[in-house]
Amino acid sequence: MKLNGSMTVDEKVLHIGDVSCIELSEKYSTPLYVIDEKLVRQNCRDYINNFKVKERKNRVAYAGKAFLPLYMCKLIKEEGLYLDVVSGGELYTAHKSGFDMEKIIFHGNNKTLDEIQMGIDLGVGIFVVDNFYELDLIEKICEEKLAVQNIYFRITPGIEAHTHEYIKTGQIDSKFGFTLVNGDLYKAIESMSNYKNINLIGLHAHIGSQIFDVQPFLDEVDIMMNLVKEIKERYDIEIKEVDLGGGIGVYYTQGDQPKTIKEFCETIVKRADEICDEINIEVPTLIIEPGRSIIANAGSTLYEVGSIKTIKDVRTYVSVNGGMTDNIRPSLYQAGYECAIVNKIGEEKLSQVTVAGKCCESGDILISDTDIMDIKSGDILITSSTGAYGYSMASNYNKIPKPAVVSVMDGKSKIVCKRQNYKDLLALEIMDK
Ligand code: LLP
């Protein structure tokens, strides 16, 4: 297992943020999500420093869908990032954390009337308008409330990013955004003269997720900048801000070769300069929306090993006390992960096993056929890089309570999300007496 961020090994025991994983499992029980706060902060700073936030007033907006407890909102705020939210629930979380609403970018392909009202009442900085229906709703609500709302248009630029099919969002056949090639975007721009309470200031696109290749982003930059020029020439509308979405890939397993945040940012910013120079326009303010690349490698999950079943000449199943309820990604996307036994780091890998979850579902497999050191029931097994889309996609299938989340840094640990208990599971249920 690759050691991420502040992971270290002391006498075979894995430590994160100078806290022993054995101690964490004893203190907080398992399954347990562990967040390496130092790495989260480092990733935020790498973005801020390399995306020319200070010199150019460019912006980095953390994509909250990856992981958004109140704790994370606070951290993101302290590091000076903006925040991308996609629902009333995420917006509410940000609001309750004291996040500056001006720094919120509100996404979603079907924002409800209530969500739009809430966003306008709270004073959200930008609505990323996805469709004609939303445009009408925003105008109507703004009219009632005598408000004016700044917006970006989300466009579908038609770029094929090389990633898992389920998480591609930039192609033409997409539920997201105004399509470029069929003229929908132009219709939307032309309709702007009907809207008195909406201010179009930017364009947005998101071309996919877990992308290693920088080329699709460079193509995206080219398309967006050419659009900025075209919109100015055709409609005399000044597009001042261009939001390039998220999608930068991270390391999960051997073979993944992600670029650093620095390499990605520098290449994108440079390309924007070049193309704007070529087509003779001013470089707009650039926005990037990383989710996974800020939090994935900073999160790990600790489990306790339970039953071990060996089927001779077939496979050994090692079952842990969590599974698809705390990490749906292997079942949903065939996503790969690495694991280790936390107090046997560096020991020879003696066998090959399949790590299974505890749900009543054959597809509840966390890792297939992985080499592992000597493994016994009661051992604490860690899966790394579970920080993004783990807790945020967790469910209560089989009425399994969600694990706790702790954050670790400089030898200290603190709980940031409590473990659900059985009572919590029934909190919304009503039974006639
Ligand atoms: N901005 C927009 C508009 C997005 O739709 C997304 C992700 C992001 C930013 C952040 O992308 P990131 O940097 O995290 O790749 N559940 C899937 C990922 C779905 C991503 C959806 N949109 C997974 O677990 O792989």
- Quote the ligand 1 centre to 26 CA distance (angstroms): 33
- Could you identify the residue written with the tokens 């193309």? 275
pLDDT tens string 269-324: 999 999 999 999 999 999 999 999 999 999 999 999 999 999 999 999 999 999 99
Pocket test for ligand 1, best of 65, 213, 395 (most atoms within 8 A of CB): 65
Q: How far apart are CA 366 and CA 222, in angstroms?
A: 39
The whole-number pLDDT of residue 276 equals: 98
Three-state secondary structure of 45-94:
HHHHHHCCHHHHCCEEEEEHHHCCCHHHHHHHHHCCCEEEECCHHHHHHH
Distances (CA, A) of 29 to 1, 115, 321, 413: 22, 37, 11, 13
Counting from 1 in the atom list of ligand 1, the atom nearest the Cα of 329 is: 24
Q: Percent of the chain at pLDDT above 90?
A: 93
Catalytic residues: 360
Distances (CA, A) of 164 to 71, 77, 117, 211, 268: 30, 31, 35, 9, 22
Residues of the chain with pLDDT under 50: 165-166
- Quote the ligand 1 centre to 209 CA distance (angstroms): 5
**Domain assignments of the chain as residue spans, ordered by start:** 8-30+298-425, 37-294
- Which two structure tokens, joined as six digits, stand for 354? 């399949």
The whole-number pLDDT of residue 166 equals: 45
156 CB burial (10 A radius; 0-12, 13-18, 19+): buried
- Which two structure tokens, joined as six digits, stand for 89? 């629930």
The whole-number pLDDT of residue 165 equals: 46
The protein residue with its alpha carbon nearest to ligand 1, atom 22, reads 209
Q: Which CATH architecture has domain 37-294?
A: Alpha-Beta Barrel (3.20)
Residues 6+ apart with CB under 8 A from 329: 335, 337, 389, 390, 393
Counting from 1 in the atom list of ligand 1, the atom nearest the Cα of 247 is: 15
- Quote the ligand 1 centre to 208 CA distance (angstroms): 7
The protein residue with its alpha carbon nearest to ligand 1, atom 19, reads 167
The protein residue with its alpha carbon nearest to ligand 1, atom 16, reads 389
The whole-number pLDDT of residue 305 equals: 98
**Residue 142 backbone dihedrals phi, psi, to 5 degrees:** -65, -40
Pocket test for ligand 1, best of 85, 286, 289, 293 (most atoms within 8 A of CB): 289
Three-state secondary structure of 149-191:
EEEEEEEECCCCCCCCHHHCCCCCCCCCCEECCCCHHHHHHHH
Counting from 1 in the atom list of ligand 1, the atom nearest the Cα of 291 is: 14
- Which two structure tokens, joined as six digits, stand for 304? 């306790």
The whole-number pLDDT of residue 174 equals: 84
- Quote the ligand 1 centre to 325 CA distance (angstroms): 19
Cα-only R_g, the chain: 23
Q: How far apart are CA 346 and CA 1, in angstroms?
A: 10
Q: Which CATH class is domain 8-30+298-425?
A: mainly beta
Counting from 1 in the atom list of ligand 1, the atom nearest the Cα of 290 is: 13
- Quote the ligand 1 centre to 205 CA distance (angstroms): 12
Pocket test for ligand 1, best of 46, 209, 243 (most atoms within 8 A of CB): 209
What residues does ligand 1 touch, defined as CB less than 6 Å away?
A: 63, 65-66, 84, 107, 167, 169, 206, 209-210, 245-248, 289-293, 329, 333, 388-389
CB atoms under 10 Å from CB of 177, counted, come to 25
pLDDT tens string 182-212: 889 999 999 999 999 999 999 999 998 999 9
